[in-house]
Each structure stands twice: as C-alpha cells, then as structure tokens.
C-alpha cells in the first residue's frame, strides 16, 4: 500500500479481466445480502412479523444497524453475547473493506499503450488490485451473512433455528418466492 495524493494521473480503464469483474460483483451481492440480514436481525430478536417491523431500519447504514441490533439484544438478553458481539464488530470491519472496493477510484498506469500497474485508491492509499484479497473479502462477507442469519434465527425460533418463522421464507430455498 502506497500513499497517493495525485491519483488523477492514473487512467480509467475497463481492462480488468473477467475474474476481477466477477469478484467485485460477488462482493457487492454478498454485501447486499448481509445488509438484508442486518435489516432482519432486530425483527428476529424482537420475535415480531415483518409487518410489525415494517421498514423501520431499511435505510440505515451498517454501523447504525449494528448499534440497533446491539440495543435490541441487550433489551432482550440483558447483554450482547460475546460471540455475537465479535461477529457484529467483524461486520463493521468487513463493511469498511467492502467500501474500499466498491467506492474506490480504480485506474491503471500505462506505458507505451500497455498497462503496467493496476490501482485501487481509497482514502489516499493505493490498495492495488489483488484477486486473493478480493476472494477473501467475498468469502468473509458470505461467512458473516450466514453467521448473522444463524444467530438471529436461533433467537427468533429457538426450537428450530434452521426453519424460518412464518413471517419470512427460507433463504436456502425459493420457498415463498414467486
């Protein structure tokens, strides 16, 4: 990582290669699915229906949703269980890492018409374009999405956490979706 002050010298390009396009798309999708779990978590903790929950938390950003989830957990359980607290903090970190992919300035350096370097600038730092890092972030977002879903489903339906409540169809199947 290199600090960059003048990234206007880097060229914008669409020559990233199919794998980078796919990975960035997978990161965006996994993050959107994680955000949906963050939306559902307080509803599950409160054990209410989607109709009762409404769109109360739909427009909040991730850090604000995390605070709401912690508040609801404390109200219901008296505290935030340590393993869930760690998961929520990891979500905040992963959200920042995702922002450094989705909202970064992507560019390249060319010499004699050939690309000689790839750049991904976030907060004045060139993070580069490393496919292994992108894969790791994608996998982390998926793991966090699944972990949050499992934890909150246990709170919503302790007898059978793998079965969603009647107010929300299964995420593992297309049950209830048309």
Answer whether residue 172 is part of any domain.
Answer: no
On whether residue 165 sits in a domain, the answer given is no
Picking from 88, 71, 69, 66, the residue whose alpha carbon sits closest to that of residue 147 is 88
Q: Which two structure tokens, joined as six digits, stand for 63?
A: 């850090």
Instruction: Let me know if residue 177 belongs to a domain.
Output: no
DSSP 48-82: --HHHHTTTTTT--HHHHHHHHHHHHHHHHSS--H
On whether residue 173 sits in a domain, the answer given is no
* 161 lies in some domain: no
Residue 130 CA: distances (Å) to CA of 33, 120, 126, 135: 23, 10, 11, 9
Q: What is the pLDDT of residue 174?
A: 38
Domain presence at residue 169: no
CB 34 within 8 A of CB 144: yes
Distance separating alpha carbons of residues 151 and 143, to the nearest angstrom: 12
**Cα 163 from Cα 146, distance rounded (Å):** 14
- The reported pLDDT for the residue numbered 49 is 80
Tell me if 168 is assigned to some domain: no
List Cα–Cα distances, 64 to 13, 29, 57, 88, in angstroms: 35, 20, 9, 11
Return the pLDDT at 170: 40
116 and 110 Cβ atoms separated by less than 8 Å: yes
Quick one: pLDDT at residue 40?
87
Mean pLDDT, each 10-residue run in order, the chain (178 residues): 64 84 95 90 84 66 90 91 94 96 91 88 91 97 95 81 48 39
pLDDT of residue 93: 96
User: Number of folded domains in the chain?
Assistant: 1
Is 62 within a domain?
yes
Domain limits for position 66? 2-156
**Residue listed under structure tokens 């850090």:** 63
């Amino acid at each position: 990582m290199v600090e960059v002050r003048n990234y206007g010298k880097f060229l914008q390009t669409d020559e990233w290669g199919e794998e980078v396009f796919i990975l960035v798309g997978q990161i965006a999708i996994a993050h959107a699915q994680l955000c949906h779990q963050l939306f559902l978590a307080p509803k599950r903790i409160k054990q209410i229906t989607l109709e009762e929950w409404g769109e109360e938390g739909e427009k909040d950003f991730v850090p604000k949703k995390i605070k709401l989830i912690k508040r609801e957990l404390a109200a219901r359980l008296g505290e935030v269980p340590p393993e869930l607290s760690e998961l929520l903090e990891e979500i905040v970190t992963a959200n920042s890492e995702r922002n450094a992919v989705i909202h970064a300035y992507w560019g390249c350096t060319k010499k004699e018409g050939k690309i000689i370097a790839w750049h991904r600038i976030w907060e004045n730092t060139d993070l580069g374009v490393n496919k292994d890092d992108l894969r790791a972030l994608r996998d982390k977002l998926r793991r966090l999405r699944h972990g949050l879903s499992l934890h909150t489903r246990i709170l919503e339906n302790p007898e059978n956490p793998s079965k969603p409540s009647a107010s929300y169809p299964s995420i593992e199947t297309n049950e209830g979706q048309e």
